[in-house]
Amino acid sequence: MKSGVFLVLFSQQAFEQALDTAKAAGLQSVEIGTGGFPGTAHINAQEILNDDAAISRIRDAVDSRGLTISALSCHGNPLHPNAATAKSDHDDFVATVKLAEKLGVETVITFSGCPGESVNSTYPSWVTCPWPPEFLTVLEWQWNEIAIPYWKEQSAFLRKHNVRVAIEAHPGFLVYNTETALRLREEAGDNIGVNFDPSHLFWQGMDPIECVKALGKSIYHVHAKDTKIDKRNTAINGVLDNKNYGDILNRSWVFRTVGYGHDDDFWKHFVSTLRLVGYDGTISIEHEDGLMSVNEGFTKAANFLNGLILQESAGEMWWA
C-alpha cells in the first residue's frame, strides 16, 4: 500500500514544486486534478491531450522523483440538467480517460453525477426520501433514463482505453453510499468502481469499516480525510447541514485531517480492512480541514498516514 496526496492541495505551487513537496513528506504517489471541480491547476487534460512533449514532461517529472500517479481526477457532474455544464464535465472526463491511457494511469476519479427532476430542470435534484411518492418517480427516472444509459456508454468507452473509473460516493449525487455505488456498478459495468472517501460516510451515520467489507474488490482508490461530528449541533439539527463549511462552531459536522475526527484505532482498523479485501493501492491525502493551514494539515496527515502504512506493512495492525 502507498501513501499519496491529491495534488490540488498545492495548486499555488508549480507542478514540479508540488511533486517535490509530496516527495519530501515521504509520500510515494500523487493524484492529479485534470478538470471538473478540482480544476486544472497543474494539468488541463483537454489542452495537453495531443501534446506528446507535455505528456512526456509530466511522466518524466513524476518518474524522476520516484513517484507514481495513483489517479487522474476530474470530479464533475456529466448528468447536469444544464446541457453546457454536462458537456463541459463530460468533455473533461473523456479527455482525462484518454490522457490516463497515454500516461499509463489505470484509474480516473469522478462523481456519478446528478440529473434534474425532469427534462425541464435547470439544476440537479437530489432525492433523499421516498415520500411524497413523486420523489421515487423522479429517482427512478434519474437512474433508468439518464444515469444508467450514460454510464453504460462510458463503461464501453473506458474498455477501449484500458482505463477504469472510480466513482466517489458523495451526497448530492446519485451515488452517495454503498448500495448506490454497487447499483451503478451492477447496472453499467464492472470497470466502474469506487473512490472510497470515509469522510463523506461518517456524517451520514455509516461505518466505513463495514462499507469497505461490502464494497470489496470494487474499491479502486482511497482518500484519507476525516470528519468530526459535533454532538450538540447534531442533537439539535441532525446531520443534513447546509451551513457554510467555514461556520465550524455551528455546523453539525466538519471535515478534519486524519486522526482529528477519529482516533488511531479506527484508522489502523481501516487500513487493515482495506488490506483484507485485497486493496493494495494508494491512500491519498485530501485536505479540507478548516482549522488547519494547508501546510499544517498536510504535514500532520502525511506523518500520520506514513506511520500507519509502515505499521501495516510490518504486520502490526488490527485485523478485522
Is the N-terminal amide bond of 132 cis, ω within 30° of 0? yes
The pLDDT value recorded for residue 317 is 60
The pLDDT value recorded for residue 320 is 47
Say how far apart CA 168 and CA 160 lie, in whole Å. 22
Q: What is the DSSP letter of 38?
A: T
pTM reported for the whole predicted model = 0.96
The pLDDT value recorded for residue 232 is 98
Say how far apart CA 13 and CA 28 lie, in whole Å. 19
Radius of gyration of the chain (CA): 19
Q: Which of these, 137, 68, 143, 67, lies nearest to 100 by C-alpha position?
A: 68
The pLDDT value recorded for residue 319 is 52
Residue 142 near residue 115, CB atoms below 8 Å: yes
Backbone angles phi and psi of 230, in degrees to 5: -90, 110
Residue 96 near residue 45, CB atoms below 8 Å: yes
The pLDDT value recorded for residue 311 is 79
- Structural domains in the chain, CATH included, are 2-313 (3.20.20.150)
Q: Partners of 33 in the beta sheet?
A: 73
* Helices within 260-293 (DSSP H only): 264-276
The pLDDT value recorded for residue 169 is 98
- Which cell numbers hold the place of 175? 451515488
Distance of CA 5 to the CA centre of its chain: 12
Could you read off the pLDDT of 221-238 as tens digits, one per residue? 999 999 999 999 999 999
Say how far apart CA 75 and CA 224 lie, in whole Å. 16
The pLDDT value recorded for residue 318 is 54
Q: What is the DSSP letter of 143?
A: I
Q: Write out residues in the chain with pLDDT < 50, as ranges.
A: 320
Could you read off the pLDDT of 281-314 as tens digits, one per residue? 999 999 999 999 999 999 999 999 999 988 777 6
Residue 139 near residue 127, CB atoms below 8 Å: yes
The pLDDT value recorded for residue 39 is 87
